């Protein structure tokens, strides 16, 4: 999907040979003219190794604990330079194209439980939002028509291959009979919030969570090896 040049993405690939095995390193740099946080991440063979947290001026490593540890001491300084170059090139491109209109893609969402549902047992709901542009989205949770803020998390946004984005939000729950939860997503591409409803009685099939985790783990590899592996392990019942 083609988007307006209000987003600039720079991709670089290097093939490195180790004992006849090829690996592909990719550095993704993205910037926008609005207030959306920039992106700078490192991937190997399509799996995220780390990304830059520009707000806290830090490099965040996302590889799982069983992988040998490594560091890139100069990456933060390099990311700041790359971001300045990205903004410079983006502003030049916008001027050359006479400030083209921003393309907007509304999000799609789904909601499911992290574990098999047992009434009275702690669990988590996951609201997965994808295929939207530009980033980010706002997510609001409710329980029995009352907004819930405690126990809520919202991930950073991740790029899809077609240059749209994806995010997910979680809510810690202890479901009881009769509870009704909802996840509402707000985005400039939506005329009104996109709301999904979840009830424990209607979502207590043994393989519901496993199927959802499997599908997301397989199709969203660019979430990074840490998050991608998490989804695949949770979906280990799928074929």
**CATH number, domain with residue 202:** 2.60.40.10
Task: Please tell me whether residue 219 adopts helix, strand or coil conformation.
Answer: helix
pTM of the model: 0.66
Do 179 and 84 belong together in one domain? no
Comparing CA positions, the residue from 72, 68, 78, 87 lying closest to residue 30 is 87
| Residue 66 confidence (pLDDT) | 66
pLDDT category of residue 199 using cuts at 50, 70 and 90: very high
- Whether 202 and 114 share a structural domain: yes
For the ranges 25-39, 147-161, 192-206, 223-237, which has the lowest average pLDDT?
223-237
Tell which of 69, 96, 123 closes a domain. Answer: 96
pLDDT the model gives residue 3: 43
Rounded to 5°, angle at Cα 216 from 178 and 173: 25
Q: What does the angle CA 26 – CA 216 – CA 175 come to, to the nearest 5 degrees?
A: 135
| Host domain of residue 75 | 7-96
Domain count, the chain: 2
Residue-level pLDDT at 156: 82
Nearest to 205 by CA among 122, 113, 136: 113
pLDDT bucket at 5, cuts 50 / 70 / 90: very low
């Amino acid at each position: 999907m083609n988007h307006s040049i209000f987003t600039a993405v720079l991709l670089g690939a290097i093939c490195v040979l180790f004992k006849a095995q090829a690996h592909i390193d990719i550095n993704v740099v993205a910037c926008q003219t609005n207030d959306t946080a920039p992106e700078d991440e490192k991937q190997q063979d399509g799996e995220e190794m780390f990304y830059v947290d520009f707000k806290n001026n830090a490099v965040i490593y996302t590889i799982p604990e069983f992988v040998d540890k490594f560091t890139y001491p100069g990456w933060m300084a390099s990311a700041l330079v790359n971001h300045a170059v990205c903004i410079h090139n983006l502003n030049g491109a916008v001027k050359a194209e006479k400030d083209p209109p921003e393309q907007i893609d509304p999000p799609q969402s789904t909601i499911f439980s992290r574990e098999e549902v047992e009434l009275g047992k702690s669990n988590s709901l996951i609201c997965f939002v994808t295929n939207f542009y530009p980033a980010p989205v706002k997510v609001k949770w409710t329980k029995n028509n009352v907004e819930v803020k405690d126990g809520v998390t919202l991930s950073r946004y991740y790029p899809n291959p077609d240059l749209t984005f994806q995010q997910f939000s979680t809510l810690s729950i202890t479901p009881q009979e009769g509870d009704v939860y909802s996840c509402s997503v707000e985005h400039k591409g939506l005329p009104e919030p996109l709301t999904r409803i979840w009830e424990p009685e209607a979502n207590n099939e043994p393989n519901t969570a496993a199927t959802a985790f499997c599908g997301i783990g397989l199709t969203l590899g660019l979430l990074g090896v840490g998050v991608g592996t998490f989804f695949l392990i949770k979906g280990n019942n799928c074929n």
